[in-house]
């Protein structure tokens, strides 16, 4: 059940702060996020109560063990079609960092993250980018990088718009950049991304960029 909602919502964007141990401090943080980003930010104590049409689910690690956090991320992955999750108050060099392996988790904020850093990171996540500490990004790349395959990819029928979006992703464009370049809303961009990810069999922006990088014959 929502216990706080900002009245400064703009453009329908919505961040949910999920905290199993909700407190006055949690409510004040949600109010701060809403005011700084000019959007709706609500606090929920249960994943099942979170509305489906949100942009970011900020999962508070404080007071939760790894099993409980894993369960929350699993529910997020299975219950929401196109939501970005991020971890809040994560501990350094803990098993909490391994939750970044889940496709829905695109950001992580440590327990000592400054307010300015949190707001900047949330802005990046709202634009479709990642917010991951450099150390963890290096670990991820070392674990997952491999030489591009020369195997011909299966024939995938993409619309003209989907091809345009893939090319822009390859060039490093954010959702906001794509929205401006194609004169469509960011909500429409997110819908196209969700559809094209399913078509080409990738889980996130990085994998989509790698996929299109090898497609020299991607024509309009």
Please check whether residue 113 lies inside any domain of the structure.
Answer: yes
Domain boundary among 85, 109, 143: 143
Q: Kindly report the CATH number assigned to the domain that includes residue 184.
A: 1.10.10.10
pLDDT tens digits along 80-119: 878 899 999 999 989 999 899 888 999 999 999 999 999 9
Based on the fold, state whether residues 23 and 98 are members of the same structural domain.
yes
Give me the pLDDT at residue 213, please. 74
C-alpha span between 143 and 98 (Å, rounded): 12
Residue 175, domain extent: 160-213
What pLDDT, in 10s, does the model give residues 135-189? 888 777 766 666 555 445 557 788 999 989 998 988 888 888 899 999 999 889 9
Partnered with residue 44 across adjacent β-strands are 18
Q: Are residues 136 and 181 in the same domain?
A: no
Task: Let me know if residue 201 belongs to a domain.
Answer: yes
pLDDT digits (tens, 9 = 90+) for 31-52: 999 999 999 999 999 998 999 8
Examine the domain organization and report whether 62 and 26 are in the same domain: yes
The answer to whether position 219 is within a domain reads no
CATH number, domain containing residue 127: 3.40.50.2300
Residue 168 backbone phi and psi in degrees, to 5: -70, -40
Residue 15, burial from CB neighbour count under 10 angstroms (0-12, 13-18, 19+): buried
How many domains is the chain partitioned into structurally? 2
């Amino acid at each position: 059940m929502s216990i706080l909602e900002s009245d400064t919502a703009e453009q329908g964007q919505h961040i949910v702060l999920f905290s199993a141990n909700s407190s006055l401090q949690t409510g004040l943080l949600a109010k701060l996020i809403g005011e700084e980003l000019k959007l709706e930010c609500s606090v929920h104590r249960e994943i099942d109560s979170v509305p489906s049409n949100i942009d970011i689910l900020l999962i508070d690690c404080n007071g939760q063990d790894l099993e409980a956090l894993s369960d929350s991320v699993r529910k997020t992955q299975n219950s929401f079609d196109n939501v970005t999750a991020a971890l809040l108050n994560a501990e350094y060099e803990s098993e909490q960092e391994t939750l970044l392996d889940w496709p829905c988790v695109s950001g992580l904020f440590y327990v000592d993250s400054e307010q300015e850093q949190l707001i900047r990171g949330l802005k990046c996540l709202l634009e479709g980018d990642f917010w991951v500490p450099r150390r963890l990004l290096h670990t991820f790349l070392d674990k997952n990088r491999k030489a591009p395959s020369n195997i011909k990819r299966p024939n995938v029928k993409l619309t003209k718009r989907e091809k345009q979006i893939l090319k822009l992703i390859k060039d490093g464009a954010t959702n906001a950049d794509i929205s401006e370049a194609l004169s469509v809303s960011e909500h429409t961009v997110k819908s196209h991304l969700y559809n094209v990810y399913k078509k080409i069999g990738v889980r996130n922006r990085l994998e989509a960029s790698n996929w299109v990088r090898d497609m020299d014959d991607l024509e309009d």
